[in-house]
Amino acid sequence: MKKLLILALVLLPLSLFSQDFDKEKLNKYLDILASNDKAMFSLAIAKSGQTIYENSIGYASLEDNLKINSDTRFRIGSISKVFTTVMIFQLIEEGKLSLETSLAEYYPKVKNADKITINNLLNHSSGIFNFTNTPSFMTFMVETKSKNEMITLIEGLDSDFEPGTSSNYSNSAFVLLGFIIEDITKSSYSDQVDKRIIDKLKLKLTAYGGKIDPKANEAFSYEYRGNSWFKSKIESDMSVPGGAGAMVSTPKDLNIFIQALFNGKLISQKSLDQMKTIEKGYGKGLFAIPFKQRSAYGHGGAIDFFKSNLAYFENEKIAIAFTANGATQSTNDILLGVLSILFNDPFELPKANEKPIELSDEILTKYIGTFSSQSPQLALKIVLRVANNALQAQATGQGPLSLVAFSETEFRFAQAGIVIKFEEVDGKVDYANFSLVQGGGTFKFKRD
């Protein structure tokens, strides 16, 4: 849910949140996404412990004609890390572990184990190579693996850096944390997450995952090819991601979970503050999530073709959870739209039934040039060029981004909510002038 920025964003005045946000507009937004095959997902929003919005679009199983509903369970990928982190802090509060405990006490054969602490595992500063980046991962991810096989795999991985000197996202670290929970409690991760979180919060639709069962209202994941959705041929065996990504849940259950976490029902405030402490971009099981002048804490997840997000805005006491089983548009972009509507920020609904178009290189070359901002609050130049049969934009000090054409006057970079609109004069495109629309602001640009 981290917002991708290409340009300096002029922040809008903070609008007060009202529980009476425009639900009809949000419903319409989801209808447009559904009708244009942008995604299939379930969404829930809660405030102060009460669900204030729920909606779903798409199918849990197209083959069985089963639509997604509020009780459909999704694989949530790395949101599982929040569950794992909570249980680690519970064990710390019980005196069975500490942030300074050495990994060598449990798995001494892991490289640099004597220098790696629980703290390093939690905030991705252990240096243990991320096993999901190994060349063989796509093969063994679908095979059942024993605990010993996973440990042997991780013990054979190289170290990216000396523990504590840098940070790099590591699923390996959280698989080990899941095993440490088992070693301390002498029971399975599944039993512990049931006892420590699920049963305590009465989460009826959250569990350690297994093989997907559509008859139990569990969603398959899908990819979009041509003009149709196709069920993924990949279904990860949940023995592989373990404590790093094996949980399944629903948006409503996830909101209950994160609200309980921030309301002291699972761990102490001291432990929560540790989870929220950001070092080199990482908290312990949480990320800081900015949205304009607001901020939240949460985590995202991706496994197979599932995408999910969970966030809690402390000041507003708002939880939002999103679980998708297929998307043709950036889910980050979709959530920017959802949050804009939720917080009553300016947001223009996409046009219904609009599709990207292809423009020839002969036409695209007409847009090439260096353009300067005509807005005093945005001192910026944007270079437009043609690359890989698409118009490419590069702003001052930024990398190049490929724009998608929706007409001869409108180009978009959806991941950052950017729209470039060329002006028309007497029905013809004025290639020398465009407006940049982002974050509710509109800025004029002129070719040098």
Predicted pLDDT at 92? 98
pLDDT at 277 over 90: yes
Residue, of 388 and 11, whose pLDDT is higher: 388
- Of 212, 208, 185, the closest CA to residue 63 belongs to 212
Task: Give the tens place of pLDDT for each residue, 124-157.
Answer: 999 999 999 998 898 889 999 999 999 999 999 9
Give the Cα separation of 6 and 27 in Å (integer): 29
At residue 12 the predicted structure's pLDDT band, cuts being 50, 70 and 90, is very low
At residue 439 the predicted structure's pLDDT band, cuts being 50, 70 and 90, is low
Residue 305's alpha-carbon distances to 141, 244, 310, in angstroms, are: 14, 16, 17
pLDDT at 10 over 60: no
Predicted pLDDT at 441? 78
> Which residues of the chain form CATH 3.40.710.10?
39-328
Predicted pLDDT at 377? 75
The fold of the 361-447 domain, in CATH, is: Lipocalin (2.40.128)
pLDDT at 352 over 90: no
Mean pLDDT of 64-79: 98
pLDDT at 329 over 80: yes
- Of 322, 178, 337, the closest CA to residue 250 belongs to 322
Residue 413's alpha-carbon distances to 48, 223, 244, 383, 393, in angstroms, are: 35, 21, 31, 15, 9
Ramachandran area for residue 426 (φ above 0: left; ψ -120 to 50: alpha; else beta):
left
8-state DSSP, 129: -
Task: Give the tens place of pLDDT for each residue, 358-381.
Answer: 899 999 999 999 999 998 878 889
pLDDT at 325 over 90: yes
Residue 287 structure tokens: 């990320």
Tell me the H-state helices in 5-140. Answer: 23-35, 80-93, 118-122, 137-140
Q: Which residues lie across from 54 on neighbouring strands?
A: 44
pLDDT at 323 over 60: yes
Amino acid at 311: A
Whether residue 243 contacts residue 175, with contact meaning beta carbons closer than 8 Å, is answered with yes
What 3-state class would DSSP assign to 60?
strand
- How long a stretch of residues is the chain? 448
At residue 13 the predicted structure's pLDDT band, cuts being 50, 70 and 90, is very low
Q: What percent of the chain has pLDDT over 90?
A: 79
Predicted pLDDT at 168? 95
Give the Cα separation of 190 and 186 in Å (integer): 12
Q: Point out the least confidently predicted range of 69-78, 265-274, 289-298.
A: 289-298
E strands, 49-174, are 50-57, 59-61, 66-67, 74-75
Give the Cα separation of 380 and 378 in Å (integer): 6
Give the Cα separation of 268 and 274 in Å (integer): 10
> Which residues of the chain form CATH 2.40.128.50?
361-447
At residue 289 the predicted structure's pLDDT band, cuts being 50, 70 and 90, is very high
- CATH second-level architecture of 39-328? 3-Layer(aba) Sandwich (3.40)
Predicted pLDDT at 238? 97
Give the Cα separation of 114 and 126 in Å (integer): 11
Give the Cα separation of 241 and 428 in Å (integer): 55
Give the Cα separation of 342 and 337 in Å (integer): 9
According to DSSP, the β-strands at 50-57 and 228-231 are: unpaired
Give the Cα separation of 423 and 404 in Å (integer): 17
Mean pLDDT of 221-249: 93
E strands, 316-389, are 318-327, 369-373, 381-387
Mean pLDDT of 89-94: 98
At residue 440 the predicted structure's pLDDT band, cuts being 50, 70 and 90, is low
At residue 52 the predicted structure's pLDDT band, cuts being 50, 70 and 90, is very high
Residue, of 227 and 29, whose pLDDT is higher: 29
pLDDT at 61 over 90: yes
Predicted pLDDT at 406? 85
Mean pLDDT of 390-395: 91
Name the phi and psi angles at 75, rounded to 5.
-70, 130
At residue 315 the predicted structure's pLDDT band, cuts being 50, 70 and 90, is very high
At residue 163 the predicted structure's pLDDT band, cuts being 50, 70 and 90, is very high
What 3-state class would DSSP assign to 277?
coil
List of residues 6+ apart from 427 with CB closer than 8 A: none
At residue 80 the predicted structure's pLDDT band, cuts being 50, 70 and 90, is very high
Mean pLDDT of 103-128: 98
Mean pLDDT estimate for the chain: 92
Mean pLDDT of 423-428: 90
What 3-state class would DSSP assign to 121?
helix
8-state DSSP, 279: B
Predicted pLDDT at 39? 95
